[in-house]
Structure formats: structure tokens, C-alpha cells
Amino acid sequence: MKLNVLLAKTDALAVGFKNLINDYGRFFNKSQGAFLGEKRTYAPKEGTIDEPSRRGNINVQTTVDEKFEYFIDTSAEYIDSLFAQERTNSSGSAIAELIVEGNSWGTFSSLELLRLKGLLENSGFSNMIGAIPVRSDAEQWDINTQEAYINRYIFEAPILEGTNITTVKEDYILKDPNVSDQSPNYNAKVAQKTTVMELGEYTVQKFSGQWSQRQRAEALKRHNKLYVATIEALKVCNEVEAIGSDLNGPKIFNYILKG
């Protein structure tokens, strides 16, 4: 591919990448319910009225992991084009080894590292990570065992069981043993008795495709570590001819989002 074609392709893809990040940030902020599910059952007792509203099944629409798989796949072409452009443009410019948490990612040009620095400084991307939906630490969550969610990164809360009850009030007449109920002076006194009645048995179980608080915190931490490593690499760059780039979307985003 000629450089002029690559430049045009990168510019065209840039808008879509920016919109993708903004869309993800809005979705994470405003569509928390898409990551949550619930299953409710209800069995009425014999002789009681059924309550269908107590039964229901809300499926988890998506998970954080599924959203990021799509994000990485969709952004791959733009990221590849972006760094290929910089690698080609930077032939003969300064280079340095990028060391992230003690591991070498390879040797990159100053323009590639500057592009990576700009990508990490993108407020939309860091805001998207900060908006990743997370499960409540106040609740117990275990990896899913429901057949409907097999092979998806979904967690389940314990099943809550209980009995639906109501109270029935009944009036009755108090007997006065000292006065005949046939007497013209008899004044019946009415009392009220309250009886507890069981209406049915119910269960409720919650499901979540969200991340844990720790996962999100670690993603933000890795984002910062990659940023610091990039700054350090930029400071020690030397000139060298460079063609082609080993930096790509999956490498960058899989590290930040998955570790």
C-alpha cells in the first residue's frame, strides 16, 4: 500500500474510532441495565390467588468482556493503519525500546511512541475505562452455573427464597356470660382477629455481566503504567531507520483491558 493511500485510509477510519470510544463511554454510563439479569419464580399456595407479576426472567444482554471483544476487533484496522503510517514516516528517526512492567514490547520510533502517548492521553478512552460497569462489593457473586449463560463471563448471586404472606382480619362477637343474648339490654361487643396467611413461595436470583471493582481499577492502573513507560521511552530515543510497526490494537487494548 502506498503511503498516500495509507494516510487517506487512516484519516477516514479516525472518525469511526473516535465515535466508537464516545459510544462506549455513553453506553457504560447510561445502559447499566444491559449488563444485569434476574430470574424470579412464584408458586401460589392452594386456594390462593396467583400473582404472575412475581414471576419473570430478564436476560443479561451483554457483558463487559463481549463489548471489549467487539471494540478490539472493530478498532484493529484503524490502529494498524495508524502505527504503520507513523513507522513509515519515521524512517531514520529516533527509536527506543518500550519496557512495560519489565517486559519489552519491542523497539519503536519516536513518532510511534508519540502517537501511543496521544492515544493514551485521549480523555474519551480513559473516561470509557473509568465508566466500565462494576458489580456491587456489598453482594456475593459467583461464576455463573446457569445453562443460558454458559461460556459467557457472567456472575450470579445466591438464590433468595421466601414465602409471600398476607394478613386477614376477621370480626367476631365477644360473648358475655353474665347477660343473655336474648335480653333486651344485651349489647354485643365486636372484636377483631388477625390471621397470617401464606400465599405462595418465591425465588429471586440476580445475574451480572459487569466487571469487579478490582478489574476496573487494575485496567486503569495498567493504562497509567503503559503511559509512564511510553514517556520514559520517548526520553531515551535514538535515531534509526524504521519501517513497519509491531504496535497494534489487540496488543494495546488486550493489555489494558485484560492484563
Per-residue model confidence (pLDDT) at position 91:
61
On whether both 187 and 147 belong to a single domain, the answer is: yes
DSSP state of 243: -
Are residues 96 and 47 part of one domain?
Answer: no
> Do 142 and 26 fall within a single domain?
no
The model's confidence at residue 247, banded by pLDDT at 50, 70 and 90, is: confident
Residues 199 and 153 in one domain: yes
Mark whether 201 and 227 lie in a shared domain: no
| Number of structural domains the chain divides into | 2
Q: Which of 190, 208, 226 is where one domain is finished?
A: 208
Q: Is the pLDDT of residue 142 over 90?
A: yes
- Which domain covers residue 55, as residue numbers? 35-62+136-208
Q: Average of pLDDT values for 40-49?
A: 92
- Do 2 and 76 lie in one domain? The reply is yes
Same domain, 174 and 144: yes
3-state DSSP assignment of residue 193: strand
Residues 89 and 194 in one domain: no
Instruction: Judge if 174 and 58 occupy the same domain.
Output: yes
State whether 160 and 259 are in the same domain.
no
Top pLDDT among 182 and 146 is at 146
N residues, the chain: 259
pLDDT in the model for residue 63: 96
- Same domain (yes/no): 171, 255: no
pTM confidence score: 0.65
At residue 12, does pLDDT exceed 90?
Answer: no
Of 251, 249, 256, 254, nearest to 227 by C-alpha is 256
Residues 130 and 74 in one domain: yes
Neighbour order of strands in the sheet with 103-109: 103-109, 94-100, 238-239
Return the pLDDT at 176. 66
